């Protein structure tokens, strides 16, 4: 971690009173890269973001921004000296300034003509050029979000920090604004650290994702790696519902009601087997059999509730997501097969 551009956070630890909220977090963001901090609420991701901005001073650790130490033993730069852009969950537009005034806010000290030109350029980029003279309270949530993005980007920050920036928008608008935001950030080639609790959003936005739990980074990698090779049951289950089995390991195989799966765990013992519902499909030649308890069409996929039985193991209730949108009848006996790449085996906790 000796890059001279982008953001490098090393061994960041932070306490609020006696509670440790960030525990030895290290991460780096390359120039133009978008890194997502993903985790449940209270996992310390927002605090990490605020430490990067200088809004909190970490208990320990260093923050290096574009080659300059901004937090650490040698320096403690206040937020106004860090040249970062921050997009807040509630947008935090100044209610006493018009849209133009908001976007020009961070350009103080520049000549008026330059300020105006830059504000117009940014408003144009986010598609809000027609609203320069509006007041924030006259805008919808999506419009406020766009103005906030323009305002944060206007001073050309060395780092963008996004705190749950889409959580205030309804689902349909969120998808659209997310897409636009990603393009604006990429067009401006700005390093970005974003916080979210929504795995789908993280996978949509991020070049890399860091999954946080209880103040620590559990796994940090490209989205597809996290999805396909989760480091532990927490990461695996965070990206969506999973079927969980407690299994015994015998001969290097975990024994489940759906059959044995190769476990690369050392020796014999107990294992936890996680199978994604989308890894289960109908197959007349499949090795396991289940009774359909219920089947529902969810749009692009159908969800089938199954009861699988095994001669020696206890019966198990599991969910299968079928891309075929097949809807087997209730009570029907069906045969299923499991995609081994959607099966994750971890030592039992």
Partner 1 sequence: MPAYPHKHNGYKAPLPWLVAVLALAALVALPVLVVTANLLVPSGDVWTHLAATVLGSYIGNSLLLMAGVGTGVAIGGVGTAWLVTMCRFRLSRVLEWALLLPMAMPAYVVAYTYTDLLDYSGPLQSVLRAVFGWSSARDYWFPDIRSLGGAIAVMVMVLYPYVYILARAAFLEQSVCVLEASRTLGRGPWRAFGQVALPLARASIIAGIALALMETLNDFGTVQYFAVDTFTTGIYRTWLGMGQPIAAAQLGAVLMIFVAALIVMERLSRGGAKSHHTTSRYRRLPQIPLTGWRGGLALGFSLLPVLLGFVVPALVLAGWTLQVGLENSFGGDFSRLAGNSLILAVIAGMTAVAVALVLAYAQRLHPRPLIRFAVRIASLGYAVPGSVIAVGILVPLVAADRALAHGIESWTGRSPGLLMTGTIFALVYAYLVRFLAVSTNSIEASLAKVTPSLEAAARTLGCGTVTALRRVHIPMIRGSLLSAALLVFVDVMKELPATLIMRPFNFDTLATRTFTLASDERLADAGAPALAIVLVGLVPVLLLSRAIAKSRPGESE
Residues at the interface with partner 1 (CB under 8 A)? 11, 13, 15, 17, 50, 53-61, 72-73, 76, 78-80, 82-86, 88-90, 92, 94-97, 105-106, 108, 151-152, 155, 161
Residue 119 to residues 44, 101, 143, 331, Cα–Cα distance (Å): 34, 9, 15, 63
Q: Which of 177, 158, 155 is nearest to 166 (CA)?
A: 177
Q: Which residues have CB under 8 Å from 140's CB, separation 6+?
A: none
The backbone torsions φ and ψ at residue 268, rounded to the nearest 5 degrees and listed phi first, read -95, 170
Least distance to partner 1, CB of residue 189, Å: 19
C-alpha 253 chain-centroid distance: 33
Q: Which is nearer to partner 1, 87 or 345 (CB)?
A: 87
Identify whether the C-beta of residue 277 lies closer than 8 Å to the C-beta of residue 242.
yes
Sign of CA dihedral 250, 256, 262, 268: negative
Identify whether the C-beta of residue 5 lies closer than 8 Å to the C-beta of residue 66.
yes
Least distance to partner 1, CB of residue 160, Å: 10
Identify whether the C-beta of residue 220 lies closer than 8 Å to the C-beta of residue 207.
no
In the beta sheet, which residues pair with residue 10?
Answer: 62
Least distance to partner 1, CB of residue 220, Å: 20
Q: Which is nearer to partner 1, 58 or 277 (CB)?
A: 58
Least distance to partner 1, CB of residue 7, Å: 14
Q: Which is nearer to partner 1, 57 or 298 (CB)?
A: 57
Least distance to partner 1, CB of residue 26, Å: 11
Q: Which is nearer to partner 1, 72 or 286 (CB)?
A: 72
Please report how the helices 171-187 and 141-153 are oriented relative to each other, as an axis angle in degrees rounded to 10: 20
Q: Which is nearer to partner 1, 156 or 229 (CB)?
A: 156
Q: Which is nearer to partner 1, 137 or 333 (CB)?
A: 137
Least distance to partner 1, CB of residue 224, Å: 32
Q: Which is nearer to partner 1, 155 or 328 (CB)?
A: 155
Alpha helices in the chain (DSSP H): 45-53, 99-104, 112-125, 141-153, 171-187, 199-205, 223-228, 233-238
Least distance to partner 1, CB of residue 85, Å: 7
């Amino acid at each position: 971690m000796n890059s001279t551009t982008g953001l490098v956070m090393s061994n960041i630890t932070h306490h609020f009173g006696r509670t440790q909220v960030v525990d030895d977090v290290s991460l780096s963001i390359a120039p133009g890269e978008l890194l997502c901090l993903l985790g449940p609420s209270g996992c310390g991701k927002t605090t990490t973001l605020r430490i990067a901005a200088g809004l909190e001073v970490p208990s320990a650790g260093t923050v290096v921004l574009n080659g300059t130490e901004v937090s650490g033993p040698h320096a403690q730069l206040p937020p106004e000296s860090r040249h970062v852009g921050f997009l807040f969950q509630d947008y935090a537009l100044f209610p006493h300034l018009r849209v133009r005034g908001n976007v020009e806010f961070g350009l103080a000290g520049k000549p008026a003509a330059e300020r105006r030109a830059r504000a117009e350029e940014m408003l144009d980029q986010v598609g809000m050029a027609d609203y320069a003279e509006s007041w924030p309270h006259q805008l919808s949530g999506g419009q406020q979000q766009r103005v906030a993005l323009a305002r944060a980007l206007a001073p050309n920050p060395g780092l963008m920090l996004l705190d749950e920036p889409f959580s205030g928008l309804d689902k349909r608008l969120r998808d659209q604004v997310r897409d636009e935001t990603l393009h604006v950030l990429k067009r401006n080639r700005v390093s970005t650290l974003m916080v979210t609790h929504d795995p789908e959003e993280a996978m949509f936005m991020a070049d890399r994702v860091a999954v946080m739990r209880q103040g620590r980074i559990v796994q940090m990698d490209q989205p597809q790696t996290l999805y396909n090779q989760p480091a532990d049951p927490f990461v695996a289950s965070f990206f969506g519902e999973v079927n969980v089995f407690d299994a015994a390991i015998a001969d290097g195989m975990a024994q489940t009601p759906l059959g044995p799966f190769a476990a690369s765990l050392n020796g014999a013992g107990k294992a936890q087997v996680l199978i994604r519902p989308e890894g289960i499909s109908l197959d007349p030649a499949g090795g396991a059999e289940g009774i359909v308890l219920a089947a529902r069409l969810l749009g692009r996929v159908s969800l089938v509730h199954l009861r699988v039985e095994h001669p020696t193991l206890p019966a198990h209730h599991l969910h299968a997501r079928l891309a075929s949108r097949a809807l087997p009848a209730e009570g029907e006996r069906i045969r299923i097969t499991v995609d081994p790449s959607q099966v994750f085996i971890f030592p039992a906790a």
